[in-house]
Amino acid sequence: MSLQVEKLEKNMAKLTIEASAEELEKAIQAAYQKNKGKINMPGFRKGKAPRVMIEKMYGPGVFYEDAANALIPDAYAKEVEGCDLDIVSQPKIDVVQIEKGKSFIFTAEVALKPVVTLGEYKGVEVEKQAVEVTDEEIMAEIDKERENNSRTIDVDDRAVQNGDMVKLNFEGFVDGEAFEGGKGEDYDLTIGSGSFIPGFEEQLVGAKIGEEMEVNVTFPEEYQASELAGKAAVFKCTVNEIKVKELPEADDDFAKDVSEFDTLAEYKEDIKKNLTEKKEKEAKTAKENAVVAKVVENATMEIPDPMV
């Protein structure tokens, strides 16, 4: 078996691989053994016709396709493994020669990993990012932890306010008729979340537990249910429950509960330290990426189409 390599444009290459006539003959014989049981010939029981008789009747190339399909994968893999090409695509195969008594020749067109030509890279300069942690960022982290340690409490001595979590019964009507999907019971809704149609949640502010009220809205023109798009609707609503989220105070007791520190000041310092380390790592990564981007700007490469 032999291999010839022809370099083409745009980092493509054509590999010409040749297998011996003996290897081809073995593959043809194997194809005959595999297929003889499927062939009917007059005067022979099914599967008993000699190969020479089958080739006379159907032509000498009757087993060539199966033989080629058996030979090509192993021949290609063997030759590619032994060469120093960095192939980055599946081969495009073309059989050049297949004939009994002659060597078997096929080509494989492949894409090669492109060679990168570096431009000027020494002395590349990029802007260094300043690392600063603000009080607002520290408080944002504390507020996240307060949120994680919040509790929900029932409210029954006032009307609905923005930010409340309510359990809601509702039923919607268009032109006085109830519509499909417009009814819900004990539906959990956070007022101000924007979960419902624009204008719906705002009208619930001021509603009292157990009192029925009407909410008037207009479905958006691009509403997902086309039969409701752009139409005015009335929702009859009853608030069943009002709950609020209660966050712990940001004080020394809170710091003791959520950290290993005794005071809020120590907890803040630890948050500042962690945020600083995180920002320094991000700044280092950003600087490295910027350097790579600058070097890439000065580099040239031709990427083969199959790789793209």
Residue 214 and residue 169: Cα distance in Å, rounded? Answer: 12
Residue, of 123 and 88, whose pLDDT is higher: 88
Domain 151-246 in CATH 3.40.50.10420: no
Residue, of 140 and 47, whose pLDDT is higher: 140
Q: What is the pLDDT of residues 256-307, one digit of tens each?
A: 999 999 999 999 999 999 999 999 999 999 998 988 888 888 788 788 888 7
- Which residues of the chain are in CATH 3.30.70.1050 domains? 2-111
* pLDDT value of residue 234: 97
Residue 187 and residue 166: Cα distance in Å, rounded? Answer: 8
φ/ψ region of 6 (left if φ > 0, alpha if ψ in -120 to 50, else beta) reads beta
Residue 242 and residue 164: Cα distance in Å, rounded? Answer: 7
* pLDDT value of residue 124: 79
* pLDDT value of residue 121: 76
Q: What is the pLDDT of residues 96-151, one digit of tens each?
A: 999 999 999 999 999 999 888 887 778 878 888 889 999 999 999 999 999 999 99
* pLDDT value of residue 295: 84
* pLDDT value of residue 260: 95
* pLDDT value of residue 249: 95
DSSP letter (8 states) at residue 249: P
- Which residues of the chain are in CATH 3.10.50.40 domains? 151-246
**If DSSP codes are grouped into helix, strand and coil, which group holds residue 169?**
strand
* pLDDT value of residue 172: 97
Among 302, 141, 169, 156, which Cα is nearest to 242's?
Answer: 156
Q: What is the pLDDT of residues 199-255, one digit of tens each?
A: 999 999 999 999 999 999 999 999 989 999 999 999 999 999 999 999 999 999 999
Q: Which fold has domain 2-111?
A: Alpha-Beta Plaits (3.30.70)
- Whether the Cβ atoms of residue 215 and residue 192 lie closer than 8 Å to each other: no
* pLDDT value of residue 69: 96
Residue 244 and residue 166: Cα distance in Å, rounded? Answer: 9
pLDDT tops 90 at residue 190? yes
